[in-house]
Structure formats: structure tokens, C-alpha cells
Chain A
């Protein structure tokens, strides 16, 4: 008995009962379509969270001061002053996996433009900060290294600040605003970045050279934060390790003492946020899996009916030379054919459903190869698993009894 003959026999049997086969397939079709659509929606939302976070600055690594133990007492994080210009220089010089390092200090205060005023924060950074955050300008230019060296009173303003200080939508570039009574010339306007994942308005900010802020606004020699970016996404972990080593060196920390800083990569943030949608994906997949199981039971049921109904046919086949294994394979291939065909239709239907969801409800979706491959595999296994017992029953029939079955 060759495989082509077995396939031919199974195909003929299926063709003889088209309506019934289609109804049996329906369970599998719905199950697979559900798996494809559900995982696509789950993956889509995960992906959109990831791109949102990546939008905060790709490959960004944030270094903050951390409490260390001084004479037995743990100090509050915010009072710790441990990040210095030396750290930034050390990182710029030594780090292999970083392509940008910027210190950052911020000060809150009132910004005034004529009759309009707005309380906001001014953040002192270096020009590379815009690259680290992935934050282009809509207008003007970023301040230069010369501005940094001379601590020039120039600034970039966020969209929220622009709206509140220039309500009549005047041209802001070149205008002078006052922050804490110190005049700043606006040389650029930042593009809108929206709220971050914690609901903070990221556009409510004025960016100025760090030297300007550290010398003229709130005199200090310490940074509150150091922002850095890894050369690419895959090397963020390596970069974080490297930063820790360089910083420990720079701070002359002995072995065994705690770090006086913390290093956070976006990966951690991505992980914690996507775990929510991960749970969603798992739940949806479980539901879809259950519907596949129900579909499988449908196949098993119809295969039992089919075996009983075709007892006489089985007897005839045996009498003209079919062995037990031939009968077993015939029914097994029939059930696998039903489940695989159902799987193919299900995948197509799932893809269509996914497109419809994207088109009409505008939910982000992403069909993964993984979900398609797994669906097919599960279909195949379902066909074999649920088809096996009916097929075994058929193959063990006694030809004499089967021939005289009415």
C-alpha cells in the first residue's frame, strides 16, 4: 500500500461525505482561526508597547545615583551626589558599547515670555542627549559644543512650553524668554513626544546646555542623571555591565562594597510592561487551545461514526487483501486530512480576521510565523491523536463479522 494510494482512498472517503466533513472541520477551523487572530492581537499589543518604549530613546540606558551606606546609615537616593563630569568623561573614553553619554541636571522654575508665564523644569544636557532620546527638532538647531563651553544662555523648548508661552503661535525661534529671571534665547523647538508610559508630559521641558544650568541656574558640580545609549539593542546588556565596571573604577569603589549608582536599561522596562500583554497572549492562546481540543473531539466522534457506518466496507477491504495496518492508516490519514485541511482554512480565516481587526478597530496586530507553524503542528497532532483510536478499532475488526455487519 503506497502513500499515494492511501491518500487517494482517504480523499475519496472524504469526498463521499462532503457536508459532514465540512461540519467536522468547523471545530478545527474556528480553533485555528482563533489561535491565529488571538496571538496576532496579543503580539501586536506587545509590539506596540515595545515601540512606544523604544520611542523614549532607543537603546537608552539611565544611570542614577543610589544610596550607599555611610557609617551605617543609608542615605536617601535624591540626596546622594555621586555622578560627576569625571564619570561622563570616563564613560565617553572607555566604553566600547556606548555611542553617546550625556549628564543631566534639572531645575524647576518659572519661564516668562512677556505677559505669559509657565512653571516648568529646565534640563541641562549635552547636545548628544537629543540622539540618545531619539528626539528630533521641528524647528531651529541644537546648541553646539561651543555653547556648552561658554555656558551660553540658549535653549530648546518642548511643545507644551511653546503652547503656553506663545499662545498666539508666533514664531518662537530667536525670541528671548526668561527662566528664573535669566534671559535665554530660543534656538530650537522640540518635536512632540507625548506622555511617557507613566503619564508624565515629556513635552513640558526646556533643554539648555548642562554647563549653563550648572553654573547659572542651580550651581552644582553633580549630575542628577547620566543618559547613555548603547550602539544597538542587542548590546544593551553588555553596555550596562561595562558602565558598571567603568563607574566603579571611576568612583574607586572597593570590591565587596555596594554600587553608589544604579544602571537601568530599557530592556527591563520593556520586560516589565510586556509581561502584562504576555499574560494576555497566554490566556488567549489557552482559550484558543481549548477550542482546538473541542474540534479534535469532534473529529474523534465523527471518525467513530464513520468506522461503525463503514464496518461492511472495512470487511470488504479486508477480504480483498487489506491488512490491519492498511485500514489503520486509511482512517488515520482520513482524520489527519480533515484536521490539516481544517487547519489551512483556519489559518486563512485567522489572517482575514486579523486584517479586519486592524482595518476596522485599529488594534495593532502581528501574525507570527511561530503561531502559524504551531497551529499546523497542533492540527496534525490533533488528527493523529483523535483519529488513532477509531482507526485502531477499525483495523482490529474481524473480517468475517465486519462483512456480515448490518
Chain B
């Protein structure tokens, strides 16, 4: 596997709004290596959503280079982008985006339905493994509306893991969750990063989240403001344990 997962060089993205041209991203460059846990920070209007869309191969840069795991993304067609997303990226969204009235395992199997190389049996096996990785083996056949927000988000993380992507891209993944559940999700993310070696890019506007990642990239007005290594990574597990004890019945088995 290529050690450099993401290479961004002089990246620009402009939008035309009538006569005006809005520069959402202006000359941004950085590299993300395999095994990193990066937070991309920025207030609204900083260009972080545009960055997320480009990193996620949902959008293409106006100019500059984006190389994802050795693939030049800028030159690909829409269909090729879709295949690339399927093979290399696992998305986790703020609002989970699970299919309603569809069981957890079917939701997790979804990305593999768009990949011919998996048989029905392999799909099921991989989905079960992914659900076990997010500690939801007991909830395989539950429907989204039978699960809590944290559980739903963990199903979404399992869905992001199942295709063995080179990068997990999280968009405000804790935005809809309370503090305790947020810590649980971050704990899971940290485990995936340290124990399973997953490369994680976490886009957020919450400064707290950056405490848990190894590196923080801050955007402002479409430009790279800061790119710093976090030498004091907080353990989400410890944070969780430091919270006042909760009623046993509400405690998540983990």
C-alpha cells in the first residue's frame, strides 16, 4: 500500500455565483500518510465542507492536484469517481444516513452491493465482521428506529469499514450526539486508528474533537491556517471513565 494516502497540491476550488466567483479553496497543500488520524477544523465559510467533498471524491478541484492512494482524482469521470469512492473511501455522516426500515446488517452490506467482487456469502461475512468491530454483534437484525443515535452511528461506521477503504472520512460524525455518546464514538475511532491502523480524516467545527486526533489542519477563508501535530492526544476512553457514573440500564455494553 502506498504510504501517502492523500496528496493535495496547490488545490483550488471556485464556484460561480452569477457574475461573482467565490474561492472556496485557495491554494491548499498537504499530505496525509497511512495510519494518521487527522482533524480538519474550521468555522463555517472556511472551506472545510468543500475540502470534505473533494477529499471524498464527490467534487473535483478547479485546479491543483489531488492524488488519493496513488490515483489522480482530478481527471476521473463521474462513474470512475463513484467506483473510487466505493473502493477507497468510507463515509461517516452527521445524520448517520442509514436506510430506514432496513436492518443493520443490510445497511452495512450496502457498499458491497455496488462491488461485483463480493458474493452474497462474503457480503454477509464481512458485514458481520464489521458489525463486530463496532461492537454491535447483538444488533445485527435491528432496524435503525430500534437503535439509539450512538448505535446508529456505529452501524454507519461499520458500513464505512466494510469495503476496507484506505481512508475513513467523517463529516461532523459526533454532531448529533450527546457528550457521552460522542466520547464513545471517538473511542471507537481511536481504536480503529491505533488497533486496526485505519487512516481517519475527521472534519468538524468542534475544537474538543481535535483533542483526540494526532494532527489538526485548520482552514480559514479557503486557506490553510495551521497544520500542527498534537503531542498530547487525549484518550477518549479515559474521558469517558471520568464522566459521572450513569444509570446502569443506560450503560452501553462494550
Interface residues, chain A, with chain B CB atoms under 8 Å away = 1-2, 5, 8-9, 12, 16, 312-313, 315-326, 399-400, 403
Contacts and interface: CB of A to CB of B under 8 A. Distances in A.
Contact of A316 (B82, B97, B116): B97
B58 A323 contact: no
Contacts of A16: 100-102
Q: Can you list the 10 inter-chain pairs with the closest CB atoms, starting with the nearest?
A: A321-B86, A323-B82, A320-B111, A321-B114, A323-B79, A316-B97, A5-B113, A16-B101, A321-B85, A399-B58
Contacts of B101: 16
A278 B228 CA distance: 85
Nearest to B80: A323
A1 B106 contact: no
B37 to A, nearest CB: 21
Interface of B: 53, 56, 58-59, 78-79, 82-83, 85-87, 91, 93, 97, 99-102, 106, 110-111, 113-116, 159, 163
Given A320-B114, A400-B59, 8 more contacts: A1-B116, A16-B102, A312-B97, A316-B93, A316-B97, A318-B82, A322-B86, A323-B78
Given A1-B114, A8-B113, A316-B97, A321 B83 contact: yes
A252 to B, nearest CB: 82
B58 A12 contact: no
14 contacts: A1-B113, A8-B113, A9-B113, A312-B97, A313-B99, A316-B97, A317-B114, A319-B85, A321-B82, A323-B79, A323-B82, A323-B83, A323-B114, A400-B53
Nearest to B102: A12
B75 to A, nearest CB: 17
Nearest to A5: B113
A135 to B, nearest CB: 69
A68 to B, nearest CB: 80
A317 B100 contact: no
Contacts of A324: 78-79, 82
Given A320-B111, A321-B82, A2 B116 contact: yes
A319 B110 contact: no
Nearest to B90: A320
B72 to A, nearest CB: 19
Contacts of A323: 78-79, 82-83, 114
Contacts of B87: 321
A61 to B, nearest CB: 67
Contacts of B86: 320-322
Contact of B85 (A9, A313, A320): A320
A149 to B, nearest CB: 87
B203 to A, nearest CB: 13
B91 A320 contact: yes
B106 A12 contact: yes
Contact of A319 (B56, B79, B83): B56
Contact of A326 (B85, B114, B159): B114
